[in-house]
Chain A
């Protein structure tokens, strides 16, 4: 009974945000690298990320994830007649596409002053929110050139790491990759000083997409604290994530392999989150 009430409490509606009619004006592409295992920093993961920006609203996600979604949308939802779906072609194109490493979607709203963080963990989608504002940026008198834009250095301590960012006044958007924002210009590059996590701008496109569609379905809403505790617990024992799945669908052997992989994911970007 207690569990039930906890769950009914957890599964609430997505926080109300100014989602409707949010169309992007630009897409900024970032190449992302990350170090999943702090004991072996030579292993790097990569992904292509995109920051869709519109009027006082933005979404940051994996571009591969976006591509995968749009291929599936094109090949399936255009028609509700299964006969019209060319499954062979769908499978062919999906299997040839790159898969996303980052399974999150970060919505930033300046009107609500809030970040809504959607993330998939194993079989479920989760959502939590946090304040938009990042206090503590220090602007330094150091400059460099990124993609032909003059960029200025800024630094901040965030989530237990120290980050160096390069922003440009020439793109007057107070936005950036991941949750980063709050500088008087777009963040073109951001890295932690250990170089475990980095995002670098590689492309700009004027592209108009409907950002409100870029959410995850059937989300479980949590507080930021609850989310990170859940994530930690699931990573620690992946069997937990398999609860409720049909018994025998996964062999012990494969579970062990999955667990090994997650044991090596010991270096999240957020070292500290309960601040």
Chain B
């Protein structure tokens, strides 16, 4: 101490003489005593704290700083991103000191710059799209921006595809509120409430399966900025000719343990609200395929016509209400309640002239003018209970649907008026259970579905033209049908993965389909003073099957194989309850499926698949006595139990080269269907038909080839696409006791161009040509040529103002006929968004050219016809959109 004091004493004058002095030392971390590299050392004057010199530590923690000062001691500020800032006083005598510092991680406060945040970030399997990086001032709801996210495509029905495949789940803040009915969120969630859209790649929605079954499918999760508060969107519009009204109000709230989304919508402007309720996720779509819905027995002319957007011909009064609530308790169990009510009154008018080309070169032609009102009401709901943890999975859904479907109207059939009324109500109740639990690296699962459907349908015709061999109309006819179906499938299964990357799934199960059909046809003819005659059917049908399913999956490098080898033992029985006759048979069959995929190079890939299916008829296919299905058709089926074996081959070749902006796809498919029954048509010369199934082994061939290629020209901001499809179908049919081979050949070619410079204007055009050729082995029946061209133009000269014009031209003609049908449509819309407002105003003018009718030809097999629909007149709509 004394020495130190003395040396300080002697050195003091020296410091005054030599203004250049040195501070040196070593910085070590206080707990581990290790050297700290790259620490900033600031030398400050003790008088006024100004920085007079600075330096850094080297890898051994040492520092040495020359200081131009006459002071004998200085302040040192020691700081870095990894240590806690420290101030020490140090003498400038050059004697090394050791300074201990504490580890610390400096958290900098973020300063966000608008427009500089990376719009896409990726962490493991999650790709996050920051919505602000993609949305424009014109966007209002989620669906407006989704189409713009790279990798994501939105189909015309609202289905979202990621890299060309449907989503497996759609989550909002991690919870599956809507169970696949995500149009409700897409069309109603305000854009300013959304923080980001996350794509969860390789998403396995069932957490127990996470490590066991690899999923290559993607889910979407919407992250919100505005949580725990009511948000929503809506619009209100009024317009003219006739009085038009369009309104929507959709409030919603999202909390960590509770989510709710409500919507009330109504319009008479032609918009179909049923699309909002559509189920669009992959799982839900697969469920729909297996839900064995019962059919509507009576057919009426609909709005579907080739080349015509349905909204243009839809005269509607529609209403939709939907309530969706999800609650999650502390143990992670979710309860979900979804209730929908939908109602639509449709006014349909359709005129058609149809010719049947008969084998003996005879032609039967007739004219129909229908004028119907269709009233549909549907109340549906489901209650779901789900527990999804890493140790087990439990999911149970109970759902119901009640449908009222009524049709009332008049048909003029070759000028003869017929009054048609029909009612096709339906009831469906279903329960679905899925349970998974791991047992020693293997996964054990139980699945069970039970559904019950019931319908009591009725068709009334006054007077009817049902030909009872006498060709004389009756005074009234009542056809009623009672049908009920009980379906259940139950299985237990095991999933495991072998060491060499093969996943095996096996299951064993039983399923049962039980149908019961009762029908009664009552015809009364006062003219012939005849008593009410009746024809009845009463039958039941059972298909009991036991199955073992095995599925193997293998992946190596660019090569991928998937094979399913399911075996079924089916026992099918049907009983005619009126005659007490019964027939039955048992069948063992397999439905193999094989899929191969190979990546040839970075630019080329190829895939091929084979699938065989075996389908049997149901209780809907056996009714020996007549059933009237429309005012001009009677069905009766007393054939053997229909069996249809279908083999399908598919091949695809894909090429992409992003460097030169070129890609193309080529696909080819072939299928052969072997049936043991055939449809027999009997046509009376006034146009009435009788249809029945008869025993006859036959086959139907389908072939298709399609090509699609695109090229992007970057300096012109232009994308060009060419696509072409050729389809062929060949099938036999018995018409008026003659068996003939018929064929349909359809070829379509389309050219598309889109020019999208960055500012002021956007343009797209598409033109397509369809050729439809129907013929029988005796003669050609029809060659139809359809040309359709659409042009769209967006103009946005000033911010907040958007103009859009759409032009559409459709023409349709039959070869060798000089009556081409053509229609032109022009629509215009303008939208103004006041700056920083949650409202916008728009004017929509639809069908400016006031096209009043749409007419087109149609053809299939031995039928050629022309039909026309009246269109919604020129109409104007003023609309206010808002969000909150």
Identify the closest chain B residue to A85 (Cβ): B656
- Contact indicator A172/B81 (Cβ below 8 Å): yes
- Contact indicator A83/B665 (Cβ below 8 Å): yes
What's the least CB distance linking A260 to chain B, in Å?
A: 18
Could you tell me which residues of chain A, from 69 to 100, have a CB within 8 Å of some CB in chain B? 70-76, 78-93, 95-96
A-contact bits for B279-292, CB 8 A (1 contact / 0 none): 00000000000000
What's the least CB distance linking A55 to chain B, in Å?
A: 7
What's the least CB distance linking A114 to chain B, in Å?
A: 14
- Contact indicator A88/B719 (Cβ below 8 Å): yes
Which residues of B are found within 8 Å of A45, using beta-carbon distances?
none
- Contact indicator B116/A63 (Cβ below 8 Å): yes
Could you tell me which residues of chain B, from 532 to 563, have a CB within 8 Å of some CB in chain A? 558
- Contact indicator B107/A206 (Cβ below 8 Å): yes
Given contacts A26-B108, A83-B164, contact A88 B120 (CB under 8 A): no
- Contact indicator A74/B658 (Cβ below 8 Å): no
Q: Does B784 contact A (CB under 8 A)?
A: no
What's the least CB distance linking A93 to chain B, in Å?
A: 4
- Contact indicator B153/A87 (Cβ below 8 Å): no
Docked complex Cα distance between A85 and B656 (Å):
8
A-contact bits for B432-469, CB 8 A (1 contact / 0 none): 00000000000000000000000000000000000000
Given contacts A139-B54, A203-B111, A204-B110, contact A85 B153 (CB under 8 A): no
- Contact indicator B116/A139 (Cβ below 8 Å): no
B-contact bits for A33-48, CB 8 A (1 contact / 0 none): 0000000000000001
What's the least CB distance linking A148 to chain B, in Å?
A: 8
Given contacts A80-B599, A206-B108, contact A86 B164 (CB under 8 A): yes
Could you tell me which residues of chain B, from 190 to 227, have a CB within 8 Å of some CB in chain A? 201
A-B interface pairs (CB < 8 A), number? 165
- Cβ 8 A contact of A95, one of B55, B655, B714: B714
Which residues of A are found within 8 Å of B51, using beta-carbon distances?
139, 152, 169, 184
Q: Does A66 contact B (CB under 8 A)?
A: yes
Which residues of A are found within 8 Å of B42, using beta-carbon distances?
169, 184
Which residues of A are found within 8 Å of B758, using beta-carbon distances?
95-96
Q: Does B841 contact A (CB under 8 A)?
A: no
What's the least CB distance linking A170 to chain B, in Å?
A: 9
Docked complex Cα distance between A93 and B147 (Å):
11
What's the least CB distance linking B655 to chain A, in Å?
A: 7
> Which one of B331-339, B393-401, B601-609 contacts A?
B601-609
Q: Give the bracket for the number of chain B residues in contact with chain A.
A: 35 or more
Residue in B109, B113, B117, B655 whose Cβ sees the most chain A Cβ within 10 Å: B113
What's the least CB distance linking A261 to chain B, in Å?
A: 15
Could you tell me which residues of chain A, from 13 to 62, have a CB within 8 Å of some CB in chain B? 25-26, 29, 48, 53, 55-56
A-contact bits for B551-585, CB 8 A (1 contact / 0 none): 00000001000000000000000000000000000
What's the least CB distance linking B840 to chain A, in Å?
A: 22
Docked complex Cα distance between A73 and B37 (Å):
35
Docked complex Cα distance between A47 and B689 (Å):
75
Could you tell me which residues of chain B, from 43 to 62, have a CB within 8 Å of some CB in chain A? 50-51, 54-56, 59
- Contact indicator B604/A71 (Cβ below 8 Å): no
Which residues of B are found within 8 Å of A70, using beta-carbon distances?
118, 120-122
Could you tell me which residues of chain A, from 88 to 141, have a CB within 8 Å of some CB in chain B? 88-93, 95-96, 110-111, 139, 141
Q: Does B663 contact A (CB under 8 A)?
A: yes
- Contact indicator B605/A95 (Cβ below 8 Å): no
Q: Does A214 contact B (CB under 8 A)?
A: no
Q: Does A12 contact B (CB under 8 A)?
A: no
Docked complex Cα distance between A171 and B81 (Å):
7
- Contact indicator A88/B710 (Cβ below 8 Å): yes
Could you tell me which residues of chain A, from 180 to 204, have a CB within 8 Å of some CB in chain B? 183-185, 202-204
Docked complex Cα distance between A66 and B580 (Å):
78
Given contacts A55-B82, A70-B120, contact A95 B717 (CB under 8 A): yes
Identify the closest chain B residue to A84 (Cβ): B163
Docked complex Cα distance between A147 and B98 (Å):
35
Which residues of B are found within 8 Å of A148, using beta-carbon distances?
111
Which residues of B are found within 8 Å of A183, using beta-carbon distances?
54
- Contact indicator B719/A91 (Cβ below 8 Å): yes
Which residues of B are found within 8 Å of A91, using beta-carbon distances?
661, 712, 714, 719
Identify the closest chain A residue to B115 (Cβ): A48
Docked complex Cα distance between A93 and B118 (Å):
13
- Contact indicator B658/A90 (Cβ below 8 Å): yes
Docked complex Cα distance between A95 and B51 (Å):
49
- Contact indicator A81/B714 (Cβ below 8 Å): no
Q: Does B780 contact A (CB under 8 A)?
A: no
- Contact indicator A74/B120 (Cβ below 8 Å): yes
Docked complex Cα distance between A86 and B663 (Å):
10
Given contacts A26-B108, A55-B82, A184-B41, contact A202 B661 (CB under 8 A): no
Q: Does A265 contact B (CB under 8 A)?
A: no
- Contact indicator A203/B116 (Cβ below 8 Å): yes
Q: Does B701 contact A (CB under 8 A)?
A: no
Which residues of A are found within 8 Å of B153, using beta-carbon distances?
86, 88-89
- Contact indicator A56/B38 (Cβ below 8 Å): yes
Which residues of B are found within 8 Å of A202, using beta-carbon distances?
111, 113, 116
B-contact bits for A139-156, CB 8 A (1 contact / 0 none): 101000001100010000
Docked complex Cα distance between A198 and B602 (Å):
42
Which residues of A are found within 8 Å of B597, using beta-carbon distances?
81
Docked complex Cα distance between A157 and B109 (Å):
32
Which residues of B are found within 8 Å of A89, using beta-carbon distances?
148-153
Given contacts A91-B719, A172-B85, contact A83 B605 (CB under 8 A): yes
Q: Does A249 contact B (CB under 8 A)?
A: no
Docked complex Cα distance between A274 and B822 (Å):
75
Given contacts A82-B654, A93-B150, contact A110 B38 (CB under 8 A): yes
What's the least CB distance linking A253 to chain B, in Å?
A: 14
A-contact bits for B696-712, CB 8 A (1 contact / 0 none): 00000000000000101
- Contact indicator A111/B59 (Cβ below 8 Å): yes
Which residues of A are found within 8 Å of B127, using beta-carbon distances?
74, 78
Docked complex Cα distance between A81 and B216 (Å):
12
Which residues of B are found within 8 Å of A205, using beta-carbon distances?
110-112, 117
- Cβ 8 A contact of A87, one of B110, B710, B714: B710
- Contact indicator A204/B111 (Cβ below 8 Å): yes
- Contact indicator B148/A169 (Cβ below 8 Å): no
- Contact indicator A172/B122 (Cβ below 8 Å): no
Docked complex Cα distance between A96 and B652 (Å):
32
- Contact indicator A92/B116 (Cβ below 8 Å): no
Q: Does B119 contact A (CB under 8 A)?
A: yes
Docked complex Cα distance between A25 and B50 (Å):
30
Which residues of A are found within 8 Å of B712, using beta-carbon distances?
87, 91
Docked complex Cα distance between A139 and B122 (Å):
41
Which residues of A are found within 8 Å of B656, using beta-carbon distances?
82-83, 85, 87
Which residues of B are found within 8 Å of A63, using beta-carbon distances?
116, 118
Which residues of A are found within 8 Å of B733, using beta-carbon distances?
none
What's the least CB distance linking B267 to chain A, in Å?
A: 31
Docked complex Cα distance between A152 and B85 (Å):
18
Docked complex Cα distance between A183 and B457 (Å):
87
Q: Does B40 contact A (CB under 8 A)?
A: yes
Identify the closest chain B residue to A182 (Cβ): B56
Q: Does B421 contact A (CB under 8 A)?
A: no
- Contact indicator A184/B120 (Cβ below 8 Å): no
Question: What are 16 of the A-B contact pairs (CB < 8 Å)?
Answer: A26-B108, A71-B150, A72-B658, A74-B120, A74-B127, A74-B150, A84-B163, A85-B663, A89-B150, A91-B719, A95-B717, A172-B85, A184-B40, A203-B111, A204-B109, A204-B111
Which 7 interchain pairs have the tightest Cβ spacing?
Answer: A203-B113, A82-B656, A84-B163, A172-B79, A184-B54, A184-B40, A93-B150
A-B contact sample (19 more), CB < 8 A, given A48-B116, A78-B127: A56-B38, A70-B122, A71-B119, A74-B127, A82-B602, A83-B605, A83-B654, A85-B163, A86-B150, A91-B661, A91-B719, A95-B714, A95-B717, A110-B37, A171-B81, A172-B85, A174-B56, A184-B54, A206-B107
A-binding residues in B (CB < 8 A): 37-42, 50-51, 54-56, 59, 77, 79-82, 85, 106-113, 116-122, 127, 134, 148-153, 163-164, 201, 558, 597, 599, 602-605, 652, 654-656, 658, 661, 663, 665, 710, 712, 714, 717, 719, 756, 758
